[in-house]
Amino acid sequence: MSDLSPAALSPGGTIGILGGGQLGRMIALAAGPLGLDCHVFCPDPDSPAFRVAARHTVAEYTDTEALKAFAESVDVVTYEFENVPAETLELIAPHAPIRPGAKSLAVSQDRLSERRFLAEIGVPTAAHARVDGEDDIVAGLETTGAPAILKTRRFGYDGKGQTTVRDASDAERAFAAIGGQPAILEERIDFRIECSVVVARSEDGQAVVYDIAENRHENHILKISRVPADIEPRTAQEAAEIGIKTADALGHVGVVAVELFVVGSGDDERLIANEIAPRVHNSGHWTQDGTAASQFENHVRAVAGWPLVAPHRHFDVEMENLIGHDVDRWPDLVAEAGAHLHLYGKRDVRPGRKMGHVNRVRPRER
Amino acid sequence: MSDLSPAALSPGGTIGILGGGQLGRMIALAAGPLGLDCHVFCPDPDSPAFRVAARHTVAEYTDTEALKAFAESVDVVTYEFENVPAETLELIAPHAPIRPGAKSLAVSQDRLSERRFLAEIGVPTAAHARVDGEDDIVAGLETTGAPAILKTRRFGYDGKGQTTVRDASDAERAFAAIGGQPAILEERIDFRIECSVVVARSEDGQAVVYDIAENRHENHILKISRVPADIEPRTAQEAAEIGIKTADALGHVGVVAVELFVVGSGDDERLIANEIAPRVHNSGHWTQDGTAASQFENHVRAVAGWPLVAPHRHFDVEMENLIGHDVDRWPDLVAEAGAHLHLYGKRDVRPGRKMGHVNRVRPRER
């Protein structure tokens, strides 16, 4: 017999998912083959994840009654986005375990606590300074050099909530531009490439690491992820270690991704951590068609208390996000050899909206 | 631009599925990543497919109003079982296209028409005789030899509706044993192994063939399918041709499987067709974890009017059905390296009930 924890879900159990977007949808699609049901909670009545889930609830994340009923109907709760309000977690906690847990959310919801956490576990980050007003920007430029990047501490994504500070004279404009919110001023890193490490970790501490993906953004939105990344084997090993160290220190259960800058090349190549996402991640979508088990399957397994699958990579893969009207190319993409299309079932095409992705696989070169 | 037919579904379109068992469930799970919704129609209020589909209807297959509303809500109708009543098809036909079409169902619903169809297209079958009464059995034994197998013409599956006829004196008992229904008496084939060919065919006649699977039954229920099959390359080629010829002659749109007996070995090896299943098939479940696109994805693509994926096989695979209490082994199976577990979400374990399957993959040996 296998040594499943007594708290593990049995087939027929239900995973609650906060958030009904594409990530929630792909979590639900991965739960299906494992015989697990999903109950998706989302304020948007037309959520893509609803259409592949056994149950759904349309309500706000602050709706006490709805959250209680939701939490009581499931065996465990997970989420597709890190900005779950603290009060939502408090309402759920008495009724169902939340995986990943509170620390993963608290650390990643606030850029300053994220930077402090990374420093504590010995992961290099960009030089930065805390900003509560314009004066902090002027002072912070001493630490970061100029130009620097001003980022809100909370609720930033896809380049939203950030602006470049040219010099001290630019402080007033910059602080106004991010809405005068608590922020951090950050050294601008002259990176060679961006990459990310995606780790799945189970409650008993088993951690599996996917091959490092190399990422390319357009207009601050991820456009391409490819494996293998164009980095030294030593750097890939370091990235994997950063991922595991992060997951362990968070006591993380489920998938977590760390975005990393790669600076320099060859013997001078080094990594600087940029951001932690305590959830399945866009740069891990390639795993759906290139490995023995996708990030979504391993997330479901971790959340359910099941053992993880060692994510051997079978192919070289390039994942392309279909953003806005990119999705209009679907008739070509469904006909393209070696291309695996993933569409999110979103009804309205809007510029900048992630509508789907395509994984292009080819035999491994290395 | 790709040359999709004007009748092809667009992302966001809806596939109606008659039948809410594991096959309907796996069709729906394959439609999700393609951005297609499913509406499942089934009399059983606790159907496994309901829990992964956007919509479902609980009603009998003869419920005129429910079928009309169902058909009007979808863009195309498919099915997970071949015994769809003719009247159900008639009720749906004015409102939505049915794929695969009427000929595929008519031929495969009746063992006699199936045998005649196979003979017409030049595919060998077992010697057989039509049986409408006991006298036909006695006469039929001249054709088939004894012992022979008596099978009802309609609604037989998993060994139900059949009995062995020892000799002429056994005719009365045998005819009573199958309920005195219209039947065929069939030569008992001394086969070396059983295999099957699974083909997907699109409306414009594109056909793709999966590698031939070798099947082992226990108590008349499929237990194991493995690829590659232990047959000569020439035999595999013949099986593929039988599959394509069958799909073409039926004007089939979607997946069709032909079960075949392999008689003899080496230079004497030959094939005898046993049965046509005009749908995704249990012996094709290995394709979920061993190929570029599963039988379910290619079925969805065909039904949606999309191009098919050439089903290159990446691995050697052995599929094991989890029947009845086999499923109690799930804690070991989720922990087994190289094993991909597929559970059907059925709540009650019953002897002989298909509860799930596991695909064990390993590197290709040939």
Taking only the tens place, the pLDDT of each residue in A303-334 is: 999 999 998 999 999 999 999 999 999 999 99
CA A10 to chain B, closest CA, distance in angstroms equals 9
Q: What is the pLDDT of residues B192-231, one digit of tens each?
A: 999 999 999 999 999 999 999 999 999 989 999 999 999 9
Q: Do B334 and A34 touch (CB under 8 A)?
A: yes
Q: Is B103 annotated as a binding residue?
A: no
Q: What is the pLDDT of residues A343-362, one digit of tens each?
A: 999 999 999 999 999 999 99
Q: What is the pLDDT of residues A195-213, one digit of tens each?
A: 999 999 999 999 999 999 9
ipTM: 0.95
Q: Is B344 on the interface with A (CB under 8 A)?
A: yes
Q: Is the pLDDT of residue A156 over 80?
A: no
B361 CB neighbours in chain A (<8 A) are: 292
Is the model more confident about B192 or about A161? B192
Q: Is the pLDDT of residue A7 over 90?
A: no
Q: Is A106 on the interface with B (CB under 8 A)?
A: no
Beta sheet of B76-79, edge-to-edge order: B55-58, B37-42, B14-18, B76-79
pLDDT for the residue A6: 81
Which of B50, B288, B345 is opposite residue A35, by nearest beta carbon?
A: B345
Mutate to test the interface with A, among B15, B29, B52 (most CBs of A within 10 A): B52
The dihedrals phi and psi of B91, each to the nearest 5 degrees, come to: -70, -30
B306 CB neighbours in chain A (<8 A) are: 334-335
pLDDT for the residue B6: 81
A334 CB neighbours in chain B (<8 A) are: 2, 34, 301, 306-307
Residue of chain A whose alpha carbon sits nearest to that of B28: A52
Residue of chain B whose alpha carbon sits nearest to that of A23: B33
pLDDT for the residue B157: 67
pLDDT for the residue B1: 46
Give Cα separations from B244 to A155, A335, B81 (angstroms): 55, 21, 20
Q: Cα(A360)–Cα(A338) distance, rounded to whole angstroms?
A: 6
Q: What is the pLDDT of residues A57-111, one digit of tens each?
A: 999 999 999 999 999 999 999 999 999 998 999 999 999 999 999 999 999 999 9
Q: Read off the DSSP letter of residue A76.
A: E
The dihedrals phi and psi of A138, each to the nearest 5 degrees, come to: -60, -45
Q: Do A331 and B4 touch (CB under 8 A)?
A: yes
Cα torsion through A333, A336, A338, A344, rounded to 10? 10
- Positions of chain B with pLDDT under 50: 1
A310 CB neighbours in chain B (<8 A) are: 337
Nearest in space to B136 (alpha carbons), one of B120, B115, B153, B118 = B153
**Nearby residues of B72 by Cβ (< 8 Å), 6 or more positions away:** B95, B96
**Helices (H), strands (E): how many in chain A?**
11, 17
pLDDT for the residue B351: 94
Q: Is B188 annotated as a binding residue?
A: yes
Average pLDDT over chain A reads 95
Q: What is the pLDDT of residues A127-140, one digit of tens each?
A: 999 999 999 999 99
Q: Is B13 on the interface with A (CB under 8 A)?
A: no
Residue of chain A whose alpha carbon sits nearest to that of B47: A54
Residue of chain B whose alpha carbon sits nearest to that of A292: B338
Q: What is the pLDDT of residues A171-187, one digit of tens each?
A: 999 999 999 999 999 99
- Residue A1: pLDDT band by 50, 70, 90 thresholds? very low
Q: Is B158 annotated as a binding residue?
A: yes
Q: What is the 3-state secondary structure (H, E, C) of chain B?
A: CCCCCCCCCCCCCEEEEECCCHHHHHHHHHHCCECCEEEEEECCCCCHHHHHCCEEEECCCCCHHHHHHHHHCCCEEEECCCCCCHHHHHHHCCCCCECCCHHHHHHHHCHHHHHHHHHHCCCCECCEEEECCHHHHHHHHHHHCCCEEEEECCCCCCCCCEEEECCHHHHHHHHHHCCCCCEEEEECCCCCEEEEEEEEECCCCCEEECCCEEEEEECCEEEEEEECCCCCHHHHHHHHHHHHHHHHHHCCCEEEEEEEEEECCHHHCEEEEEEEECCCCHHHCCHHHHECCCHHHHHHHHHHCCCCCCCCECEEEEEEEEEHHHHHHHHHHCCCCCEEEEECCCCCCCCCCEEEEEEEEEECCC
Which of A35, A327, A330 is opposite residue B356, by nearest beta carbon?
A: A35
Phi-psi region of B119 (alpha: psi -120 to 50; beta: other; left: phi over 0): alpha
Task: Sketch out chain A's domains with CATH numbers.
Answer: 14-98 (3.40.50.20), 127-187 (3.30.1490.20), 193-363 (3.30.470.20)
Average pLDDT over chain B reads 95
Q: Is B87 annotated as a binding residue?
A: no
Q: Cα(A49)–Cα(A29) distance, rounded to whole angstroms?
A: 9
Q: Is the pLDDT of residue A366 over 80?
A: no
pLDDT for the residue B158: 66
